[in-house]
Structure 1
Amino acid sequence: MCLRNRLGFIALISALVATSCTTTDDESPPASSDLPSDAVEIMSSDPYAAGRWSYLVLDPDDGRVIYSNLADEFFFLASISKEFTVSTVFDDLGSSTTLTTPVYSTVEPDDGTLTGDLILVASGDLALGGRGALEGQFRFTEGAVDHVYADVIPGAVLPEDDPLAGLDALAQQIADSGITEVDGDVLIDARLWEVLEAQEGPVPPIFVNDNLLDIEVNPGASGEPASLRMVPETGAFTLENSVETAEEGASANLEVSVDPENSRVLQVSGSIPPGDPALTVYRIPDAESWARTLFIEALERAGISVSTDALAANDATALPDASTYSDDREVASIESAPLGQMGGMILATSYNTGANAFLCLLATEAGSTDCDDGLPAIRELAESAGIDPSHVVLVDGQGGDPASATPEAVVQLLDYIQDQQWGDTFAEGLPNLGERGSLGITGQDSPARGKVRGKTGTKAEGVPATEQLFFSVQGLAGYLDIGNGKNVLFVVAVSNALFPSVDGIFQVNEDVAGVAAAFQQELEE
């Protein structure tokens, strides 16, 4: 998922398509009598009066088309593209594969003192020990919006795990090796791939706390100042607080800006109603220097004296040739959670930066540092699934415009996935109605709860003159559990829906999920 909510603009990313008892090349609207009545009621409601519903529901056992409309026409994939990206990583790299992040010294320590440099080599690990990764997990905030979207979606919450756990583990290993002092520099080697500039900012191969500074805003009484807490606690930034507590019933309105005279001072302004705290984030523009500062702070917590300035920028020009790294100079390392766990978080939360990092991992697997060189691997997987290359357009890992496909192509991918040895891992990582990820907040009382697994996706923009919200697409694609161990494949999407306010972002998600739930209930054995 990808959202921006500033001056009436919202952008999300998603998937579409599904339903009507016709053939897949039938372009006419489905007959209402052929569809579940609950689906018809949703499709006919006001926000969709001038919209268009695309859908395809197919039995993979015999190829029978159960519901279909516009199944052979392009729709914007948006975040459904992540199903292509994640499945390709599972296929090419392996869902059980882990990534190792090592630390090297450039010289042999002398009586506890390292006169050379200490170098952490980035591996593309999305958590670097956070999110429970040291225990082989990749946790996210179930039942709420993950902090990766805290600056654009209300109600985001912090992950429970310590984001610095990995750096602390590395620092402790270094201390246990006998190093007590670093007289050289501390460097981050992020040359695994060239930083990809994406919609939500840079995509580097180094991540600490998702390269975010979390800012928790705690309200006081109405009219009183709010208080701030930063996570992680670090000397990298100072917060300048001008947030006021508003009246009861007001919405939180928070903004983070950089002091024009000091880039290490963040100005937090706006207002928050009394009651619960709110979360916002500052997106780190220089991930290498961020990681360097936090690593030095971890070394100092472990009792290691570091002579270099923790707040200095990472000096990539001082890095040695990568071929000079040797096992006998490795002083610490940590392993990531399996890629299957990472991919599950990307699918569940629609994590754009993570999906683009997966694209970059595909490029490195192909021997390139250019992330775009991961796209051929995705196309090859699509062809292996029997998808006509002219029926899919992909431009990145996350689903940025003009990413498009036909519902038939998406269903072919889903059919291929379930036959792979990693297919269960993929399906388990998908959002699940009423239980997991972006579908976890809807359908909790539905009889279809836990039986609709699919990747959500949204592309929407505010209408400045009217404050309405226009959806180019809201979609969902995945698997319907119809009982007796049987799944059917589905895609459902609506295009050109218009809502009176930005609150439509929640209703459209519920409505598209509701259509899928109606299909599941109608077909349940």
Structure 2
Amino acid sequence: MKRRAFLAGIGVTVVAASCSSNSTPTASSKNIPDAISAILRKPRYAQAKWSLLVADVSTGETLYELDADRMALTGSTRKLFSVGTALNALGADHRVTTPVHRLGTVDAGVLNGNLVLVGNGDLTFGGRRIDANTVQYTDFDHNDANALGTAILTPQDPLYGVTELAKQVKASGINAVNGDVVIDDRLFTPYRVPNGNLLITPILLNENMVDVTVDPTQPGQPARLDYRPRTAALAVTGAITTGPADSTSSVALSDQGRIECVGSPGCGGSVSGDIPAGYKAPLTGSETFVGTFRIDDPASFARTAFIEALAAQGVTVTAPAVAKNPPPPATTSYSDDTRVASFESAPLRQDARLILKVSLNLGANLALSLFGLSKGRNTIQGALAAERQSLIDQYGVDGNQFSFPTNGSGTPDSQAAPRALVRLLTAMAKTPVAADFQSALPIMGVDGSLAHTGQTLAGKGHVFAKPGTTIMPGADGETLELEAQNLAGYIETKSGRTVAYAVMVNDAGPVLNIADDVGAVFEDEGEISSIIYETL
């Protein structure tokens, strides 16, 4: 329970392979307060490598510095780059439009041809939607449900987007589709990232997941199983027994929660195990177990859901609802005249808030891809190259002080120096999206992945920062090592100035108990942040 609680609080990623810094520290320091130095000298950090930089956002003046040019593993502080550059390139008000086009003529309400839904990279696509301008998140996000053993689901209908599109198709005068329904997912080339082995695609329905809930009943009786979204694409079944109140929960999802059969008739996932009567989730205290199945064929998943949404609105389709998504047509087939429906996302500032508050790996990589598209690049390699060039040319980040070889979310191989992070943050503070970017960050003691940190410190409510934590196996393959624990963002100081800062510790030693060992490091960085708040 302690391990999982801490994981939820800071977004820890445990990865399978080690990666070490390849640079030589500068051993430089400037003006470090004694109170911060005392923390860095704690016995637990005898072999650790600390680095720190604090700079005034308005003047660029360096205020505190310690080995600020040392390259270090970033963890999820990498997301500051991918989300920040996308937000600035596209604009905080940018919305993603998901259109539906008819390919063929409509005769007496019958479309003789295919109906095509074009995936354009809408992260939430109607899910989490509070209203047209706002999406909801929780401190225990469903994207982390399997890693944490719990989640709090947002209450919104994940099928809202396809339902709204189906209503518009019906209103356009189409009552039947004598053809097929196609999901066009060519916006960018789908790819996997090593951070969680996530599949990143242009079409996302419930972020390409099926949420599973299990509620206990009476000892010896079957537990109640439910899931969402309910579509013919995936049937979730299971036999979960309600155990005695003092028993241990053993609820498990088949295939390690990964579904590869979507698009084939009879595709299913199963849930098994026991759940105790009076079950309380380890983090939330919820009486409901929450887990997720990840979908490996998002286009076929969305296709089935859209066909069912059309049927619910009285639009029949001759093609079977459950089938592999057909190849999309030539892009020249689309025009304003063929558009029969469209769905608009909330503004991008809302996606930035969701991604940074809960450290959403899927969203950070999608943001990187959208940035790449703004530069004419439709592959992950192209997006990374365009981002790197922009960071150097537009933001003034030294290219020797960061390395992002594979992904936009951080672990396991992204590296940067504190000076690179602070340079980005300082440059972002001078952009039109500065206020949106800062407010999207977790606030210490208030919300997101910093909600439970520093609640008694003077800096509570004044520190806006992104944590980044990476734990890796030790050389023996059995023990765990704290390879990275970082915090970077903005502090509105006691004197009224705004500073950008990055505090990073790498190679911080073995982890015997995550809550005790890593939790203490995380609290120390919160205290360092609060000292900066009080002394500047």
TM-score (norm 1): 0.87
Question: What secondary structure is seen at the aligned counterpart in 1 of 2:310?
Answer: helix
How many Å apart are 1:84 and its aligned residue? Answer: 0.9
Q: 1:71 aligns with which of 64, 68, 90?
A: 68
Aligned counterparts of 1:127 and 1:336: Cα–Cα separation in 2: 8
2:391 pairs with 1:379: no
Structure 1 residue aligned with 2:226: 229
Structure 2 residue aligned with 1:347: 356
Structure 1 residue aligned with 2:102: 105
Report the number of matched residues: 501
Runs of 5+ consecutive residues of structure 2 not aligned to the other structure: 1-6, 17-24, 280-286
Structure 2 residue aligned with 1:17: none
2:332 pairs with 1:320: no
Aligned counterparts of 1:135 and 1:208: Cα–Cα separation in 2: 17
Change (3 A) 1:230 1:185: same
Structure 1 residue aligned with 2:282: none
Q: 2:168 aligns with which of 173, 185, 188?
A: 173
Structure 2 residue aligned with 1:201: 198
How many Å apart are 1:462 and its aligned residue? Answer: 5.2
Kept after mapping to 1: 8 A contact 2:457/2:527: no
2:496 pairs with 1:488: no
Structure 1 residue aligned with 2:526: 514
Change (3 A) 1:500 1:221: farther
Structure 2 residue aligned with 1:19: none
Aligned counterparts of 1:93 and 1:426: Cα–Cα separation in 2: 13
Structure 2 residue aligned with 1:389: 399
Change (3 A) 1:182 1:61: closer
Name the aligned partner's letter for residue 379 of structure 2: D
Aligned counterparts of 2:432 and 2:156: Cα–Cα separation in 1: 30
Kept after mapping to 1: 8 A contact 2:453/2:523: no
Aligned counterparts of 2:476 and 2:71: Cα–Cα separation in 1: 30
Aligned counterparts of 1:189 and 1:313: Cα–Cα separation in 2: 13
Structure 2 residue aligned with 1:332: 341
Name the aligned partner's letter for residue 77 of structure 1: T
Structure 2 residue aligned with 1:35: 34
Kept after mapping to 1: 8 A contact 2:412/2:470: no
Change (3 A) 1:428 1:116: same
Q: 2:127 aligns with which of 119, 124, 130?
A: 130
2:155 pairs with 1:160: yes
Aligned counterparts of 2:244 and 2:504: Cα–Cα separation in 1: 39
Structure 1 residue aligned with 2:294: 283
Question: Over aligned residues, Cα RMSD in angstroms?
Answer: 3.0
Aligned counterparts of 2:208 and 2:74: Cα–Cα separation in 1: 27
Aligned counterparts of 1:157 and 1:472: Cα–Cα separation in 2: 29
How many Å apart are 1:181 and its aligned residue? Answer: 1.6
2:454 pairs with 1:455: no
Structure 2 residue aligned with 1:21: none
Change (3 A) 1:249 1:453: farther
Change (3 A) 1:517 1:390: closer
- Superposed, which structure 2 residues align to 1:299-448 within 5 Å? 299-316=310-327, 319-383=328-392, 384-395=394-405, 396-448=407-459
Name the aligned partner's letter for residue 361 of structure 2: N
Aligned counterparts of 1:85 and 1:211: Cα–Cα separation in 2: 21
How many Å apart are 1:25 and its aligned residue? Answer: 4.7
Structure 2 residue aligned with 1:15: none
Q: 1:264 aligns with which of 262, 267, 279?
A: 267
Aligned counterparts of 2:478 and 2:206: Cα–Cα separation in 1: 34
Aligned counterparts of 1:272 and 1:430: Cα–Cα separation in 2: 36
Deviations 1:312-348 (A, max 9, x none): 11111xx221111111111100111122221221111
TM-score (norm 2): 0.85
Question: What secondary structure is seen at the aligned counterpart in 1 of 2:148?
Answer: coil
Change (3 A) 1:70 1:270: farther
How many Å apart are 1:48 and its aligned residue? Answer: 3.9
Name the aligned partner's letter for residue 162 of structure 1: D
Runs of 5+ consecutive residues of structure 1 not aligned to the other structure: 13-23
Change (3 A) 1:371 1:464: closer
Deviations 1:272-310 (A, max 9, x none): 343211211001000000100111111112122222211
How many Å apart are 1:368 and its aligned residue? Answer: 3.1
Structure 1 residue aligned with 2:14: 10
2:34 pairs with 1:26: no
Aligned counterparts of 1:434 and 1:88: Cα–Cα separation in 2: 27
Change (3 A) 1:205 1:251: farther
> Does 67-76 or 420-429 show the bigger shift?
67-76
Structure 2 residue aligned with 1:184: 179
Deviations 1:239-258 (A, max 9, x none): 23243445556664443224
Percent identity reads 33
How many Å apart are 1:496 and its aligned residue? Answer: 2.5
Change (3 A) 1:451 1:263: farther
How many Å apart are 1:365 and its aligned residue? Answer: 2.2
Kept after mapping to 2: 8 A contact 1:256/1:266: yes
How many Å apart are 1:50 and its aligned residue? Answer: 3.6
Question: What secondary structure is seen at the aligned counterpart in 1 of 2:423?
Answer: helix
